[in-house]
Amino acid sequence: MSKGLHRALVPVESQMGRRTSSLESEEYSPGYRMLTQTDVIRFLHSKSEVLQPILSQNIEALGAVQTHVYGVPANMTLVDTMKCMTQASLSAVAILDYSLGGVDEDMAESEQVQQLVLARGKRILGTFSASDLRGCSVESFQKWAREGILRFLARATAARHFGVAGSALGASRELSQDEVDQLQRQIPLLTCYSNSALEYVIMKALEWRVHRVWVVEEQNGLLAGVVSFSDILRVIKQYAESAGHCN
Q: What pLDDT score was predicted for residue 121?
A: 95
Q: Is residue 219 part of a domain?
A: yes
Q: Are residues 104 and 49 in the same domain?
A: no
Q: Are residues 174 and 78 in the same domain?
A: yes
Q: What pLDDT score was predicted for residue 2?
A: 63
Q: Are residues 150 and 199 in the same domain?
A: no
How much is the mean pLDDT over the chain? 81
Separation of alpha carbons 78 and 147, rounded Å: 6
Which of helix, strand or coil describes residue 150? helix
Give per-residue pLDDT as tens, 66-96. Answer: 999 999 999 999 999 999 999 999 999 999 9
More confident residue, 241 or 174: 241
Q: Are residues 82 and 166 in the same domain?
A: yes
Structural domain containing residue 116:
68-188
Q: Are residues 156 and 216 in the same domain?
A: no
Helices 48-55, 37-46: axis angle to 10 degrees equals 100
Q: Is residue 201 part of a domain?
A: yes
How many residues are present in the chain? 247
Strand positions, DSSP E, the chain: 7-11, 16-18, 25-27, 32-36, 70-73, 92-96, 117-118, 124-129, 191-192, 212-216, 223-228
* Statement: residue 20 has pLDDT above 50: no
Q: Are residues 174 and 76 in the same domain?
A: yes
Q: Is residue 57 part of a domain?
A: yes
Residue 193: how many CB atoms within 10 A of its CB? 16
* Total structural domains within the chain: 2
Q: Is residue 28 part of a domain?
A: no
Q: Are residues 145 and 110 in the same domain?
A: yes
Q: Is residue 141 part of a domain?
A: yes
> In Å, how far are 70, 75, 107, 160, 166 from 110, measured between CA atoms?
19, 9, 5, 30, 30
Minimum mean pLDDT range among 56-70, 156-170, 177-191, 228-242: 156-170
* Statement: residue 109 has pLDDT above 60: no
Q: Is residue 27 part of a domain?
A: no
> In Å, how far are 103, 112, 236 from 176, measured between CA atoms?
23, 21, 46
Q: Give the CATH number of the domain where residue 75 resides.
A: 3.10.580
**Is residue 224 left, alpha or beta, with left meaning phi > 0 and alpha meaning psi from -120 to 50?**
alpha
> In Å, how far are 8, 92, 201, 206 from 229, measured between CA atoms?
15, 13, 10, 10
Give per-residue pLDDT as tens, 191-228. Answer: 999 999 999 999 999 999 999 999 999 999 999 999 99
Q: What pLDDT score was predicted for residue 143?
A: 83
Q: Is residue 24 part of a domain?
A: no
Q: Are residues 144 and 86 in the same domain?
A: yes
CA count, 13 A, side-chain hemisphere, 131: 9
* Statement: residue 24 has pLDDT above 50: no
Q: Are residues 94 and 173 in the same domain?
A: yes
Q: Are residues 110 and 47 in the same domain?
A: no
* Contact assessment for residue 38 and residue 229, using Cβ atoms and an 8 Å cutoff: yes
Q: Is residue 17 part of a domain?
A: no
Q: Are residues 173 and 199 in the same domain?
A: no
> In Å, how far are 50, 125, 143, 191, 196 from 203, measured between CA atoms?
16, 22, 38, 12, 12
